[in-house]
Structure 1
């Protein structure tokens, strides 16, 4: 039995020497594989959060991981994905605003505030479309300019209510939109570096 083991060891050593590497039969561990899915998202969100103390890493990671294609995307792809998520959210907020305008019967000042919000969110959707096209064509500075303008919508909307000293029915929507916007702006900034 000992001779058999010794012969196996000699054959293994010979195979290793001839091939210059371990035979797969005797390999102790598989070769390292590509990074696990989601690493690009986690790494990108970590870099973005390092550059913006107001950016929530966990929110960034969960938002981007929920988007189809994010695990296969590069930084440019993630930037476009984040812009599209912001655009979809702005369109959703715009629909909510339209519903609120339709329901408003008594308070004309509140209705005017809602109309202001409708206008700035409609503009934001267009600016977000432009910024995604700019990223796709490599015009990062143009994309960042359009992104910055689009994310003023939430602040302008909130200001219209606070100027009249009335509570905003869109505070949560505006806050969420700004958080998505912060991610898109940070990813565009990473592309600029």
Structure 2
């Protein structure tokens, strides 16, 4: 009986310790936020980088290469969505063959940007950072071809929605490039 009484305070202490540990903020969360902040400081668009990585559910477990992968995936999703958006405009009631031709070209270019970003994911996986950097740079440049296609036809106005999407993809790619550049140099 005495040994059971001796163990009771020990178990109470153990349960209180366990409860205390469970209620404490986990230190790895702060380290992940620190890594994200440190990583984003090396990019051109800190706020975009930080908000994108912080809101991604896989970033708490990511290392610097994983953060680059997340940004490239965000860019790929953006390019794919823009390609789909442009393709959907071809289905509309417009009889303007010039506009449809330009929209088709733009959709293809954003599709190529998506493919380049997909290929860069494989490069990142293989730690071939120079190739990943090159492909993300190419993906960032594809929207320029779309913009220039509109410029070829003075009667066409470059739509503000496409302009916004172009800017978004370029900024996302710039962030990814900053992260990759940091991987490459380490």
**TM norm structure 2:** 0.78
Task: String of CA shifts for 1:16-52, please: whole Å, max 9, x gaps.
Answer: xxxxxxxx9xxxxx9xx4561422111111122xxxx
Residues 1:123 and 2:144 are matched in the alignment: no
From 38, 46, 50, give the equivalent of 2:41.
46
Alpha-carbon distance, 1:107 to partner:
2.0
Greater RCO structure (CA 8 Å; 6+ sep): 2
Residues 1:185 and 2:177 are matched in the alignment: yes
**Partners of 2:94 and 2:167 in 1: how far apart?**
26
**Partners of 2:55 and 2:29 in 1: how far apart?**
18
Contact 1:45 1:57 in 2 (8 A): yes
Tell me what 2:45 maps to: 56
> Which of structure 1's runs of 4+ aligned residues deviate more than 4 A?
none
**Partners of 1:163 and 1:114 in 2: how far apart?**
13
- Larger-Rg structure: 1
**Structure 2 unaligned residues grouped into runs of 5+:** 1-16, 18-23
Task: String of CA shifts for 1:56-112, please: whole Å, max 9, x gaps.
Answer: 211111111111211221110000110001011111111101111111523222111
Contact 1:140 1:191 in 2 (8 A): yes
RMSD: 2.0
Tell me what 1:175 maps to: 167
SS in 2 for 1:95: helix
1:73-152 map, 5 Å: 73-103=62-92, 105-152=94-141
